[in-house]
């Protein structure tokens, strides 16, 4: 198994390597069940696999019935009448010389990283790439050469409202620090019984620990056929070093400390 490689799903080149679900009615590439606690679905939706249309064009310029506002409106919403002509109009300090370095404000939020994927990328890829510029990727695939063997979706609890709703049912779970969660783990049918799912979970847990998470939780569902759920079984999570911290007969909570 030394030729195995775990790839972060942060671009379209890796996204196309997501494996199909064992049940053709479901699809990892169009599932937003965990991201949308009100209307999310696991269903296969072919339209989700296509690039979305180009971003909408900017809104037309505002028109005012006040003739004295015409020039101000045409100058744009960020126009600053106190900035010298030719300035940026963005609130620059007019008392700085042109060759002065821009002062750093330690109390201001750091500039946001640019979107890791294009706004026209498939919707699921945009969901998975939300944290790439902040906390890291939200999914990995385990591959051997050109063959994809397993898939795992994970991330901070705040990225998955349905996981938060599940935790809300069990007040005995610790509130702080909030755990990371693994929402999906799946191995392709031809690669089962080789320990590859557990191997990928180990890689994900090591990654989450390196990001500073103190624990990770998973929420399997007891009862459905294995092909009908990507939450695995309590026995699977126990094999991956998790313990059952909520012994609910239908929706147990599995947890692994990372520190």
What is the Cα–Cα distance from 56 to 125, expressed in whole angstroms?
19
Residue 198 forms part of a structural domain: yes
Q: Does any domain span residue 77?
A: no
State the Cα–Cα distance between residues 167 and 189, nearest whole angstrom: 31
- Higher-pLDDT residue of 199, 120: 199
In a domain, residue 149? The reply is yes
Whole-model pTM: value is: 0.75
What is the spatial distance between Cα 92 and Cα 103, in angstroms, rounded to a whole number?
11
Q: Is residue 31 part of a domain?
A: yes
239: CATH:
3.40.630.30
CA 249, 242, 39, 22 torsion-angle sign: negative
Q: What pLDDT is attached to residue 113? A: 61
In this structure, is residue 47 part of a structural domain?
A: yes
> In this predicted model, what pLDDT tens digit does every residue of 35-63 receive, in sequence order?
999 998 988 888 887 766 655 444 454 44
The share of the chain scoring above pLDDT 90, in percent, equals 47
Q: In angstroms, rounded to a whole number, what is the distance separating the alpha carbons of residues 76 and 176? A: 45
Q: How far is CA 93 from CA 90, 100, 102, 110, in A?
A: 9, 10, 9, 19
Report how far residue 173's alpha carbon sits from residue 165's, in angstroms, rounded to the nearest whole number: 12
The number of distinct structural domains making up the chain is: 1
Domain that holds residue 221: 4-55+112-257
Q: What are phi and psi of 16, to 5 degrees?
A: -70, -10
Does residue 148 lie in a domain region?
Answer: yes
> How far apart, in whole angstroms, are the C-alpha atoms of residue 231 and residue 31?
13
Residue 89 has pLDDT above 70, yes or no: no
User: Is position 49 within any domain?
Assistant: yes
């Amino acid at each position: 198994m030394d030729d195995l490689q775990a790839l972060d799903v942060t671009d379209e080149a890796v996204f196309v390597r997501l494996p199909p679900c064992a049940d053709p009615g479901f699809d990892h590439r169009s599932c937003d069940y965990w991201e949308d606690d009100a209307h999310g679905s696991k269903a296969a939706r072919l339209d989700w696999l296509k690039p979305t249309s180009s971003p909408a064009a900017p809104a037309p310029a505002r028109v005012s019935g006040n003739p004295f506002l015409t020039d101000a409106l045409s100058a744009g919403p960020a126009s600053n009448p106190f900035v010298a002509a030719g300035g940026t109009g963005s609130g620059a300090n007019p008392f700085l010389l042109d060759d002065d370095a821009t002062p750093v404000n330690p109390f201001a939020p750091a500039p946001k990283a640019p979107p890791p994927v294009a706004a026209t990328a498939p919707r699921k890829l945009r969901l998975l790439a939300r944290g790439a510029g902040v906390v890291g990727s939200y999914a990995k695939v385990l591959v051997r050469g050109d063959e994809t063997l397993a898939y795992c979706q994970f991330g901070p609890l705040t990225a998955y409202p349905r996981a938060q709703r599940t935790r809300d049912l069990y007040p005995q779970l610790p509130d702080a620090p909030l755990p990371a969660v693994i929402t999906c783990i799946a191995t392709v049918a031809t690669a089962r019984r080789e320990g590859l799912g557990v191997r990928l979970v180990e890689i994900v847990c090591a990654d989450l620990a390196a990001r500073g998470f103190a624990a990770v939780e998973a929420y399997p569902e007891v009862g459905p056929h294995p092909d009908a759920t990507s939450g695995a079984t309590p026995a699977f999570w126990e094999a991956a070093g998790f313990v059952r911290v909520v012994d609910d007969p239908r929706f147990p909570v599995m947890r692994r400390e990372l520190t």
